[in-house]
Structures are given as structure tokens and as C-alpha cells.
Structure 1
Amino acid sequence: MIDVEKVRSATPGCGHVIHLNNAGSALPPQPVVDAVTKHLQLEATIGGYEAYERAEADIQRFYPAVASLIGAKPDEIAYVENATRAWDLAFYSIPFQRGDRILTTTSEYSSNGIAFQQVAHRHGVRVDVLPDDEHGQLAVDALAAELDRGGVRLVAVNHVPTHNGLVNPAREIGRLCRNAGVLFLLDACQSVGQLTVDVGEIGCDMLSSTGRKFLRGPRGTGFLYVRRDVVGDLEPPVLDLESATWTSPDTYQVRGDARRFETFERYVAGQIGLGVAIDYAAALGMEAIERRVVHLADRLRERLAATPGVTVRDRGAEKCGITTFTVDGREPAEIRDALRSSGINVSITHGTELYDRNALPRAVRASVHYYNTEDELDQLVNALAA
């Protein structure tokens, strides 16, 4: 069980705001703040390169920390500046050919959808959007049917969409992809840190995530997981002296592990801070974190559904810590601004209407984390009622 008062006392922001925008950027705990500022101060005192050498053990700690968190091996992890770039590096490294098919979901992120279209135009690839099932999540039977049709090069879906509380059936997707011998790229930027994520159980070949959301790490940090068995088939779209070795005037050798996706220059203090954030989550236990987050989100949905004029918009057979809702006669931005003036942080979410014809253009998004309290949820609902 999580000692909520202890984690709140270690979170400076809890004393200033009711933060229900964890799907945007969570409040970092003090150990993360201390780790980042300590390294920045070291850089300012002795120099950036010299600080790197002195802190190398803390920097390298990042790889086993991530690996332990998601059930991977340290050589399958790359440090990247954000989840979008991590996803891009994996996606654009796939050697697509004309006629290949990409399967995705109606709730895929807009930035990923843009990348799909760029590759489709560049390489003659076809993008097929799988339908939702009766719960609003990816229809597994439709995926199975499309895989049976053949020609699929990649299945790329999100674990948790940004504009809805549902959790896509990643394990079932992974099982079908393994059986079909098709690459599976999972965007886990909204699931890692609030849900237990194990790449071995899921069966994904690649996974991208961020530091700033539910992991409570620094902004400008993220990571990419690439399974050992496939990394050799993926050449990154960009290379530098970190990811490859210049072996002769006209030849180079790409690294053999996932760090082929890294660059030499990076946010070093952020890498250290993200490693500390992951250790902090691991010490609490991901199963305990998931239980509390889901409990708080379920309670919030119940309270919102019982509030006149409020409609909860979440779908999915399994739901997470993200709750979306609308208020009759009020624009979501108006609700966000009114709540913020009362010291309550929420955000506005945009559905991917180009893929999902049933998606709302906008809704209010309240995303809980384990350091939130039931009293804070009550204050949100009471503010809406007022």
C-alpha cells in the first residue's frame, strides 16, 4: 500500500495545486528535482564534459532502471528526448516497400498519423485503420482478419489514447502479431508509469514512452525499447558518432544494440533525473501504483456521472487514470480556465476525428495519479457543480 501522505510530502507541487493533469505532465518528486538540479549545478561548476565523467555511474543507471521497469534487457533501451521522437526513430527505421500495409487504431495519436501519411506518400505504403469493438477499443477480431489477409508490415497502436480513458488490448495484439510474424510498435507514452507494462508479456517489438507524464520525470526525456531479435533489421533514419562508428572514408558500422537510436549530445541531467524517477516508482511498486490510480479514476467517474449536466466520455472495457468529460452548455476551455483559477489543473483533449468519426472534437481531461486524494477529487466535482 502506498503511503499517500509520505509521497505528497515529497512532492512540492502538492502544497500549491490540485494537479489532475498527469497525462500532460505530472508533478515530479523532490528526489527527481534534486538529481536534475545537482547535475546542472555540477555542469555550471566544473563544465559539461567533466560533469558527465564524474556522474557516469548515475547516467548509466538509467538503462537497467528502464529495463527492470518494463521487463526488458538494458541493451534493448535507448535514451531519447521525448516519446514522439522515440516513436519516430523506431517507425522511420523500418524498411518499408511499396505495397506494404500498416494497421492502426481509430484512437492513434495525430503525430503518428502524420508520419503514417508521409511514409505512405514516400514509399507507396497503405494505411488501414482497424475498427473499434463494442467497448470502443481496438477490435481484436478485425486485427486477426486483416493479418490473415497478408501484406501487413507493421501494426502500430497506442496502449492508452490521449483523449480517452480506455486501455487497448495490447497483449492480444501482441499475440496475434507474433503468430503472424508482423512487427508491433506500441506507443506507451500514456501507460508507462500508471499501469504495469511488461514487454515480454505484451510481445511488442518496439515501445516508446516519455518521462514527463506518469513516470514523474523531467520534461524533455523519454526512452525507446527495441527487442534484440529485431534491432539488427532497423537502421535509424539518422546516425552520429554515438550510434555508429566511421570505419573508413566510405564505410560505417552501426551499433548492435538499441543505443543505435541515440545521439551523442543529450539532456544529461534529464537522463539522470528520469532514472531516479523510475527508481522512485519501482520502490513504490507498479502494481500498487496501478491499483491506486485505477481506484481514484473509478471514483472520479462515479462522482462526475452523478453531477447534473456532466457527461463522462470514457470508453473501453478496461480503463485507466484518464477521465474525460463534457459539461452541458460550457466549452471545455471555459471549464479548464475556471478550474485553474480555483487551483485545480485539468487539460483539454482533442479526439483524432480523421480516424475516429465518433470522437468528440474537444473534452475536459482530468488525469489522476497516486499522490492525488479523494478530497481533491471531491473539490473538482464541487467546483463543477458551482
Structure 2
Amino acid sequence: MDIDALRKDTPACGDVLHANNAGASLQPRPVTEAVYEYLELEQRIGGYEAAIERADQIQSAYDDVAALIGAHPDEIAFADSATRAWQLAFNSVPFKAGDRVLTSVAEYASNYIAYLQLQERLAVDVVPIHNDETGQLSVQALADLLDESVRLVAVTHVPTNGGLVNPAEEIGALVADSDALFLLDACQSVGQLPLDVRDVKADLITATGRKYLRGPRGTGFLYVNEDALGRLHPANADLFGARWVERDSYQFRDGARRFELYESNLAGTIGLGAAARYANDLGMDSIWQRIRVLGEGLRTALADQRGITVVDQGDLRCGIVTFTMDGCEPRELVDKLRRQRINIWHSGVESTRLDMERRGLRSVVRASLHYFNTEQEVERLVEAIGAAR
């Protein structure tokens, strides 16, 4: 990678040290320019007319996102966030009393709240799968739990509060041999590491634009395996996702776009497509290799600092580095570094309660690196953290 050129393509790199890519990354010029250009066209000729004129560009967004994860464009639906995409997927599963949902210990709060709401409506049992000795989801524990009562296995690929990468391919291989559906929350992994739907074998995958994919906020997507469509029923369809064929009947449209609504942010869709194309051009293998090197470098440097405890788990770890520091609360450290134009974040127990409570953690500092970060920035970040005590 030509890091200097990539940083020039990212104007904010000249102003801030950005290590909050798991929150919202910095957009490269082609992404923001694509959004601005489309909005300007809407302003100049009208919203409906712009959509007609740029129909090929809108379709290209589906092509580019599909190429990013090895899918077919008809298996992609766009949403206004990863959470919305996840809810569209989850609420389309035809649960009934007596079903079980298997999930991960490091499950994100928004997902777990949906499980609790499901339990309130139906007699469905939600079962967290135990972790193995490394702290990642235990594939053996999953195998022991899988039976005919399991309707859905829903797992967070990379949790919001740590650097572990759950073994999605091994999980997918097990679930594929069962009657259950597999929903993978790839919010923190798409754009950070290679993800191929043919290897993961997930029925449903959800992701956001704003994080490692470097797209606009307010964008996300849902992948739906074409073979799983017949087992799902979108909970909310309009005249875009379905056709009103007779007075008393309707028919879903083909493909994953049955999950979409007529009204959407087309400028955001085009920006998301531009972000996927940017990542495809760089190559996810190259992106992942650099992020892992930077992440491990930061992890090692922080572990050598007195009073700092790195709390990342897992056999495979990514560019998200989490830690605690004696004498300084995570939120306080985030504020101190922001005043130095260094962006990091914090993660509290409310976001991943099962995992954090199990480990006795109330809050952690989260620094998340991307390929445009430099080794010099890692050194500066460590120095700033050490001086903040």
C-alpha cells in the first residue's frame, strides 16, 4: 500500500490522529465526492429525476458491495444502519414457541434487546454459547447445543468491546449441517478483514457503512442467501419490496431487495457503493494484513506500559485494541486525548453486558486502527496515553 497517497486521499489525516475506526472511520475523497455529486444533482434536477439519471450508478452500489463479500447483487439489500439491517433479518425469522436462539457471550446490546423482546412475545429460549479458553465462541459448545429446537444461531463476528474475531467459518460449517438459520453481525468486520459468504455459509449477514468500510453514516446493508429466502418473511414490506397483485393478496419481489422500502437515502447508497469499490480496489487481504500488524503493534506497546492492562481476547485478534488504565476512567481518557486531536473511544458494560460482567469490567478504552494509520501515529498514541495518567 502507498500509505502516503492513501492519507492524502483522506483529508482529515492532516488534522487528527484517528483511532476510532470501530466507531466511525474517516471517509476518503471518492466517497464524499460521490455523495456530494449526487446531492447536487438532486438539487439541480429533482429527486426522482436524479434517481432515473443515475440508475446505473445506484445499481453499481449493489454490485460493489456484493463483490466485497463474494455475493450476488440480488442477495444485497440496503438499509439506513447495520442495526436496521440486523432487525430486518431477525424479525423475518418465523419463530414459534419452543424455539431456541443461540448467540455469543459478546453479543451487542441492540441485538440482545431484540432477543429479550422476542422472549416477551413468545416462549423462545435465548442461550448464550460458552467461550473457549481463548475467550472466543466455543465451536464445541455450539455443536453440543445444536438440535432440532434451534431456529437461529446469531453471532457477532467482532464485538464492539474488544479485538477478538469469532470463528465465523467454523460456526457456519456447523450450522449448515443443521436446520437452523445463521445470522452473522459483521458490523465491525466488513471492511477490516476478508469475508466471503461462500466460506462463512451464513444465511444472513449485516454490516454498516460508517465503520471500517469508510462509508457514510446512515448506511448499512443486509446479505440474504438466495437459498434462505423461502424460509424468511419480511415483517415490514411496502410497494417496493412487494407488489399488491390483487385486492386481498401481495407478492414479494425476487431477491434480497424485498427487505427494502421505496424511500431511501440514494446519496448514501451511492457513497456506500463508492466505499466498497475503494476497499475492493485496495484488496481486503492487503487491508487486513496491515490492520493486524498495526493492531498487534499497539497491543504490545500498551502491554509494556505500567498501569495499563490490555483486555483483548481470542485466538485471532484484529485492529480493535481495548484496555484499562489505573487511575483514569476510560471516558476521562477519551476526553483528554480529544483535546490533543487524538480520537479514541470507550465501551461500557451496557454495550456487551454478558461479556463485561463475566470479566468484571465496567468500562474499557477502545482504540481502533485502520490501514491509513502509521507506525508513528501508534507511537504518538501510546505516548499520549502514558502521559494522561
Normalised by the shorter chain, which TM-score bucket?
A: over 0.9
User: CA-to-partner distance for each residue in 1:229-256, whole Å, 9 max, x for gaps?
Assistant: 1112211110111100011121111112
Instruction: Report the alpha carbon displacement of residue 20 of structure 1 after superposing the two structures with TM.
Output: 0.2
Is the contact between residue 231 and residue 256 of structure 1 (CA under 8 Å) also seen in structure 2?
Answer: no
SS at match of 1:156: strand
TM-score by length of 1: 0.98
SS at match of 2:358: coil
The answer to which of 314-323 and 173-182 deviates more is: 173-182
Partner of 1:358 in structure 2? 358
User: CA-to-partner distance for each residue in 1:29-86, whole Å, 9 max, x for gaps?
Assistant: 0010100001111111111111111111111101111111101111111011110000
Tell me, in whole angstroms, the C-alpha distance in 1 between the residues paired with 2:354 and 2:144: 23
Partner of 2:233 in structure 1? 235
Instruction: Report the alpha carbon displacement of residue 122 of structure 1 after superposing the two structures with TM.
Output: 0.8
Instruction: Report the alpha carbon displacement of residue 355 of structure 1 after superposing the two structures with TM.
Output: 5.6
Is the contact between residue 148 and residue 179 of structure 2 (CA under 8 Å) also seen in structure 1?
Answer: no
Partner of 2:329 in structure 1? 331
Partner amino acid, structure 2, of 1:236: P
SS at match of 1:104: strand
SS at match of 2:313: coil
Tell me, in whole angstroms, the C-alpha distance in 1 between the residues paired with 2:386 and 2:85: 41
Query: Which of 162, 165, 168 is residue 164 of structure 1 equivalent to?
Result: 162
Partner of 2:251 in structure 1? 253
Is the contact between residue 106 and residue 355 of structure 1 (CA under 8 Å) also seen in structure 2?
Answer: yes
Mapping 1:125-204, distance limit 5 Å = 125-147=124-146, 149-204=147-202
Report the count of equivalent residues. 384
User: CA-to-partner distance for each residue in 1:305-360, whole Å, 9 max, x for gaps?
Assistant: 11111111100000001000111011101100011111100001124224653242
Coordinate RMSD, CA, aligned: 0.9
Partner of 1:16 in structure 2? 15
Is the contact between residue 232 and residue 256 of structure 1 (CA under 8 Å) also seen in structure 2?
Answer: no
Mapping 1:28-43, distance limit 5 Å = 28-43=27-42
Partner amino acid, structure 2, of 1:124: A
Is the contact between residue 240 and residue 262 of structure 2 (CA under 8 Å) also seen in structure 1?
Answer: yes
Tell me, in whole angstroms, the C-alpha distance in 1 between the residues paired with 2:10 and 2:173: 39
Tell me, in whole angstroms, the C-alpha distance in 2 between the residues paired with 1:318 and 1:51: 45
Identity of aligned residues (%): 53
Instruction: Report the alpha carbon displacement of residue 9 of structure 1 after superposing the two structures with TM.
Output: 0.3
Is the contact between residue 106 and residue 356 of structure 1 (CA under 8 Å) also seen in structure 2?
Answer: no
> Cα 1:356–1:341, aligned 2, differ >3 Å: closer, same or farther?
closer
Structure 2 residue runs of 5 or longer lacking an equivalent are none
Tell me, in whole angstroms, the C-alpha distance in 2 between the residues paired with 1:258 and 1:35: 24
Is the contact between residue 291 and residue 369 of structure 2 (CA under 8 Å) also seen in structure 1?
Answer: yes
Partner of 1:275 in structure 2? 273
Partner of 2:80 in structure 1? 81
Q: Confirm whether residue 378 of structure 1 aligns to residue 376 of structure 2.
A: no
Tell me, in whole angstroms, the C-alpha distance in 1 between the residues paired with 2:74 and 2:315: 35
| Structure 1 segments of 4+ aligned residues over 4 angstroms from their partners | none
Partner of 1:27 in structure 2? 26
SS at match of 2:62: helix
> Cα 1:355–1:346, aligned 2, differ >3 Å: closer, same or farther?
closer
TM-score by length of 2: 0.97
Partner amino acid, structure 1, of 2:353: E
Instruction: Report the alpha carbon displacement of residue 123 of structure 1 after superposing the two structures with TM.
Output: 1.7
Tell me, in whole angstroms, the C-alpha distance in 1 between the residues paired with 2:311 and 2:385: 16
Tell me, in whole angstroms, the C-alpha distance in 1 between the residues paired with 2:331 and 2:347: 10
Instruction: Report the alpha carbon displacement of residue 150 of structure 1 after superposing the two structures with TM.
Output: 3.4
SS at match of 1:133: coil
Is the contact between residue 323 and residue 365 of structure 1 (CA under 8 Å) also seen in structure 2?
Answer: yes
Tell me, in whole angstroms, the C-alpha distance in 2 between the residues paired with 1:204 and 1:354: 24
User: CA-to-partner distance for each residue in 1:176-203, whole Å, 9 max, x for gaps?
Assistant: 1011231100000000000000111011
SS at match of 1:229: helix
Structure 1 residue runs of 5 or longer lacking an equivalent are none
Partner of 2:284 in structure 1? 286
SS at match of 2:231: coil
Tell me, in whole angstroms, the C-alpha distance in 2 between the residues paired with 1:9 and 1:169: 35
Mapping 1:63-102, distance limit 5 Å = 63-102=62-101
Instruction: Report the alpha carbon displacement of residue 6 of structure 1 after superposing the two structures with TM.
Output: 0.6
